[in-house]
C-alpha cells in the first residue's frame, strides 16, 4: 500500500511517499481503509522529535482518520497513535466509533480536533454561561469548532488570529471579539474588552509565543489551559510567576486521559457528531491534499497558511 513515511527527524522534507507492507489487525483491532486523514500540529511535532508519544523514525505519521472498516464496510472514525497517513491503518477497536451519515472526505480532519475542543471546553475549566474566555488560534481546526461551541454554551469568546482574513473566519464561527496579534497586543486588548477584569480561563493552542501574554490575560485564580505548541514548546517555567500574577492555575490536558474509558469516548464523540449532524457546529475544512502532497500540507500548516481542518486524501 501507499503511505507517507517520516524517514528521519526533521521538517516537511523528511516525508516520503513509499510502498509499504499492509498492516494487519491484531487482537482488539480493526483494519480501516482510509478516506481522509487529519493533519495536525502534533504531526509536525512528531516528525521533529518534540512529540513525546511519537514513535522513532522511520514511522508513518497521522493521529486521526475516517474511512471504512475493511471487514464490515461500515463508516468509522478512529484515533490512532500513528499510521494515519496511509491507505490502510490498524486501529484499536475501542478508539473507533460510528461515522454514519457524515462526509468521510472531511471527517478525518475533525475527530481529534473536535474532541479536543469539546473536552477542553466542557470538561476542563468548568465554564459557565455568561463568562468570557480567550481562545488562541481561533481560525484553526480546534478554534473554529470551539468558537461555535462556546457560543452555544452562552460563553463570550475572544479569539486571536494572525491576519484579517482569519479574523473574518473566526467571527463567522462564533467569536464576539477577534484580536489580530500581528497588529495588536492581545493581552492589552483583552484588558480593554473586559474593562480590566481579565478572564477566568484562557485556552492556548500556540505555546511558546503566547505563554506570557496568556498568563497576563488571567484574573486572580484564573486557569490557563495549554493544549498545543504551534509556535514551539513552552520553555521551563518559574512557578513563582503564578503566585505573583494572582495564584494562577495551569493545566496541560491530553485527550487520551479524558477518553481512556470506552464509555467516555463514545459519550464525547456522540456530543460532537450530534452537533455536526444537527448543524449546530459547522466544520471548516479548508484544504484537502493528495497523499503525495503531505510535505506541502505540513509546510502550509507550519506557515500558518491554512484555516480550519486540513486533511490528506489517499
For residue 31, tell me if it sits in a domain. Answer: yes
Q: What does pLDDT average to over the chain?
A: 92
pLDDT average, residue stretch 282-292: 87
Range of the domain at 245: 114-256
Is the domain of 251 the same as that of 129? Answer: yes
- Given a cut of 90, is residue 124 above it in pLDDT? no
Is the domain of 250 the same as that of 124? Answer: yes
Residue 232 confidence (pLDDT) = 83
Residue 202 confidence (pLDDT) = 97
Residue 6 confidence (pLDDT) = 98
What is the tens place of the pLDDT at every residue in 101-110? 888 998 888 8
Is the domain of 251 the same as that of 149? Answer: yes
- Lowest-pLDDT range of 75-79, 89-93, 157-161, 227-231: 227-231
* Residue with cell string 484588558: 191
Residue 261 confidence (pLDDT) = 82
Name the CA radius of gyration of the chain, rounded. Answer: 19
Which is more confidently placed, 266 or 310? 310
Is the domain of 163 the same as that of 144? Answer: yes
* Integer Cα distance of 309 and 143 in angstroms: 10
Q: Which three cell numbers stand for residue 266?
A: 463514545
For residue 261, tell me if it sits in a domain. Answer: no
Domain with residue 227: its CATH number is 3.40.50.720
For residue 76, tell me if it sits in a domain. Answer: yes
Terminal C-alpha separation, the chain: 10
pLDDT band at 21 (very low <50, low <70, confident <90, very high): very high
For residue 267, tell me if it sits in a domain. Answer: no
Please compute, for residue 129, the number of CA atoms within 13 A of its CA located in the half-sphere on the CB side. 3
* Integer Cα distance of 66 and 99 in angstroms: 8
**CB-based burial of residue 298 (10 Å sphere; 0-12 exposed, 13-18 middle, 19+ buried)?**
buried
pLDDT band at 64 (very low <50, low <70, confident <90, very high): very high
Q: Are 99 and 77 in contact (CB under 8 A)?
A: yes
Residue 71 confidence (pLDDT) = 95
Is the domain of 249 the same as that of 122? Answer: yes
Is the domain of 119 the same as that of 248? Answer: yes
Domain with residue 92: its CATH number is 3.90.180.10
* Integer Cα distance of 269 and 112 in angstroms: 10
For residue 276, tell me if it sits in a domain. Answer: no
Q: Are 248 and 215 in contact (CB under 8 A)?
A: yes
pLDDT average, residue stretch 87-106: 91
Q: Are 3 and 60 in contact (CB under 8 A)?
A: yes
pLDDT average, residue stretch 249-255: 90
| Residue of 115, 95, 103, 47 whose CA lies nearest to 75 | 103
* Integer Cα distance of 100 and 206 in angstroms: 33
| Residue of 35, 1, 42, 39 whose CA lies nearest to 295 | 39
Is the domain of 78 the same as that of 167? Answer: no
- Given a cut of 80, is residue 123 above it in pLDDT? no
- Given a cut of 80, is residue 16 above it in pLDDT? yes
Is the domain of 53 the same as that of 106? Answer: yes
Is the domain of 60 the same as that of 148? Answer: no
As a residue count, the chain comes to: 314
CA 9, 10, 13 angle in degrees (round to 5)? Answer: 120
Residue 26 confidence (pLDDT) = 94
Is the domain of 193 the same as that of 306? Answer: no
Q: Are 159 and 178 in contact (CB under 8 A)?
A: yes
The number of distinct structural domains making up the chain is 2
pLDDT average, residue stretch 251-271: 83
Give the number of other Cβ atoms within 10 Å of residue 292's Cβ. 14
For residue 19, tell me if it sits in a domain. Answer: yes
- Given a cut of 90, is residue 193 above it in pLDDT? yes
Amino acid at each position: 500500500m501507499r503511505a507517507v513515511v517520516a524517514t528521519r527527524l526533521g521538517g516537511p522534507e523528511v516525508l516520503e511517499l513509499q510502498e509499504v507492507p499492509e498492516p494487519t489487525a491484531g487482537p482488539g483491532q480493526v483494519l480501516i481503509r482510509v478516506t481522509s486523514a487529519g493533519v495536525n500540529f502534533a504531526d509536525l511535532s512528531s516528525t521533529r522529535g518534540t512529540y513525546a508519544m511519537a514513535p522513532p523514525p522511520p514511522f508513518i505519521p497521522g493521529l486521526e482518520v475516517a474511512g471504512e472498516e475493511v471487514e464490515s464496510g461500515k463508516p468509522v472514525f478512529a484515533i490512532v497513535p500513528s499510521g494515519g497517513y496511509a491507505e490502510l491503518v490498524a486501529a484499536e477497536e475501542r478508539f473507533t466509533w460510528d461515522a454514519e451519515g457524515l462526509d468521510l472526505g472531511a471527517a478525518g480532519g475533525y475527530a481529534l480536533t473536535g474532541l479536543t475542543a469539546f473536552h477542553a471546553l466542557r470538561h476542563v475549566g468548568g465554564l459557565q454561561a455568561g463568562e468570557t474566555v480567550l481562545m488562541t488560534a481561533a481560525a484553526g481546526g480546534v478554534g473554529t469548532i470551539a468558537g461555535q461551541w462556546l457560543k452555544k454554551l452562552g460563553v463570550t469568546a475572544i479569539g486571536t488570529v494572525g491576519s484579517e482574513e482569519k479574523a473574518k473566519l473566526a467571527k463567522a464561527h462564533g467569536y464576539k471579539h477577534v484580536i489580530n496579534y500581528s497588529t495588536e497586543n492581545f493581552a492589552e486588548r483583552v484588558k480593554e474588552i473586559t474593562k480590566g477584569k481579565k478572564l477566568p480561563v484562557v485556552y492556548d493552542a500556540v505555546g511558546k509565543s503566547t505563554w506570557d501574554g496568556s498568563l497576563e490575560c488571567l484574573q486572580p485564580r484564573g486557569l490557563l489551559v495549554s493544549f498545543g505548541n504551534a509556535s514551539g514548546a513552552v520553555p521551563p517555567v518559574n512557578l513563582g510567576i503564578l503566585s505573583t500574577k494572582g495564584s494562577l492555575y495551569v493545566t496541560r490536558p491530553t485527550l487520551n486521559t479524558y477518553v481512556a474509558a470506552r464509555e467516555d469516548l463514545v459519550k464525547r464523540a456522540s456530543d460532537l457528531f450530534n452537533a455536526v449532524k444537527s448543524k449546530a457546529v459547522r466544520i471548516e475544512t479548508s484544504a484537502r491534499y493528495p497523499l503525495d502532497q503531505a510535505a506541502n500540507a505540513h509546510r502550509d500548516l507550519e506557515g500558518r497558511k491554512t484555516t480550519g481542518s486540513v486533511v490528506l486524501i489517499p
